[in-house]
Amino acid sequence: MNAIASTDFLAVESELGAHNYKPLDVILTKGEGCWVWDVDGKKYLDCLAAYSAVNQGHCHPRIFKAMMEQASKLTLTSRAFRNDQLAPFYEEICALTNSSKVLPMNSGAEAVESAIKCVRKWGYEVKGVPEDKAEIIVCRDNFHGRTLSIVGFSTDPSARKNFGPFAPGFKVVPFGDAEALEAAITPNTVAFLVEPIQGEAGVIIPPNGYLRAARELCTRHNVTLILDEIQTGLGRTGKLLAEEHEGVEADLTLVGKALSGGFYPISAVLSNSEVLGVLQPGQHGSTFGGNPLACAIAREALKVLVEEGMIENSEKQGAYFLEELKGIRNNAIKEVRGRGLMLAVEFHPEAGGARKYCYGLKDKGVLAKETHEHTIRFAPPLTVSRDEVDWALERINSVLTG
């Protein structure tokens, strides 16, 4: 297609779509592995991976095959009836993640909402918190989704402004501060909800030992630890789950995004038996949650992740990518940080924002996106090769130093 057609796409989006996103002006039509193509035929290395939803790469053939096979047999039964993909999905994801129970949902935000409901119910029925007094502690600069209760405990003004009134029952503490967490705990605290690494905030990595300290505090005070691994999980940081970097296990772990390899919406609350054990029939559900198509896709997406060495590749290529990014010389760069293939370059505020660099990268064939105005995230699919990393680094260096 020509440039006029591309302009038409932008015009229609602007006229008919809600303006709740500010994407780069590139219109993609095809993807394979780490690469995507726009409607004009230009090829790009994808360094966002749909916010880590396509860890396995675009259109992975094994996942595609599993999707097509299941789609030709049975896609949806609702949970009114059982299907032959749900139990194998439960078995395989529990064995892989050392979980005892699973609650399948569709989106990451649904997984977060489900966890909030479950820990409140656990607090009343098991811990003995007085009715309607349950408290959940969250972290400043968190990102757990866009639903009303979630934005109610966000500290991002753009996420909150003019969406109130908000649900009570949440306390906000600084991220990475175990002393602040301990000070916020009361007898009515039922959970601590935290990202192992804050993704939307700009790949903010907490101090070493923070998650271990949080685990110890939650155990000591009978508080459930909820780790939101929707973005950090499934290989992104060089481990299956980011909690493994500190050798901890959450009471509830939330996964989504790459759980389907980008083919279909599916998320899950992974839990010990005690917390999800409080749910009884009719108390929570989803028409599409646990549907056979989603389960078949997720089963293959998990197998691909493990069997094709993507987690190990994330650790290896990520360490190299990070060191090379740190070697880029530009006085506008404030900090380079990351773990696995979850990387960020933060610029000083006076640099004028990161978006201009994202457009420069786009022109060179690298797609990345700014977050919180001053930071670029680099998060390619976990299939990325050393040659592809070098190809990207050559262009990143030229844009950031040009």
For the stretch 31-87, pLDDT in tens is 999 999 999 999 999 999 999 999 999 999 999 999 999 999 999 999 999 999 999
CATH of the domain at 335: 3.90.1150.10
Q: What is the DSSP string of 125-137?
A: III-PPTT--EEE
What CA–CA distance (Å, rounded) separates 46 from 44?
6
Annotation marks residue 228 as catalytic:
yes
Judgement on whether residues 224 and 368 belong to the same structural domain of the protein: no
Statement to judge: residues 174 and 300 lie in one domain: yes
Q: Name the domain boundary from 262, 278, 307.
A: 307
Paired sense of beta strands 101-105 and 43-46, if any: unpaired
Same domain, yes or no: 286 and 327? no
Judged on CB neighbours under 10 Å (0-12, 13-18, 19+), 164 is exposed
Q: Which of 46, 89, 192, 228 is catalytic?
A: 228
Q: Given phi > 0 = left and psi -120 to 50 = alpha, else beta, which region is 262?
A: left
The answer to whether residues 321 and 178 belong to one domain is no
Q: Same domain, yes or no, for 175 and 81?
A: yes
Taking only the tens place, the pLDDT of each residue in 285-300 is 999 999 999 999 999 9
Structure confidence at residue 402 as a pLDDT band (50, 70, 90): confident
Torsion of CA 74, 303, 237, 102, to 10 degrees: 50
**Is residue 244 within 8 Å of residue 211, measured between CB atoms?**
no
Catalytic residue among 143, 153, 170, 378: 143
Count of domains for the chain? 2
Residues 52, 125 within the same domain: no
Residues 356 and 245 in one domain: no
Closest CA to 134 of 176, 187, 93: 187
In the residue annotation, 143 being an active-site residue is answered as yes
Rounded (10°) angle between helices 355-364 and 386-401: 130
Residues 16 and 86 occupy one common structural domain? no
Shared domain for 9 and 122, answered yes or no, is no
Q: Record the pTM.
A: 0.96
Question: Would you state the pLDDT for residue 5?
Answer: 65
Catalytic, 117? Answer: no
The catalytically annotated residue of 257, 288, 362, 369 is 257
Q: Position 373: which residue type?
A: E
Kindly state whether residues 157 and 174 are assigned to the same domain.
yes
The proportion of the chain whose per-residue pLDDT surpasses 70, expressed as a percent, equals: 99
- CATH number reported for the structural domain that contains residue 213 in this entry: 3.40.640.10
The dihedral through the CA atoms of 284, 287, 293, 294 has a sign that is negative
Decide if 50 contacts 27 (C-beta within 8 A): no
The range of the structural domain enclosing residue 128 comes to: 61-307
Domain boundary residue, one of 273, 307, 341: 307
DSSP state of 153: T
- The residue out of 307, 322, 348 marking a domain boundary is 307
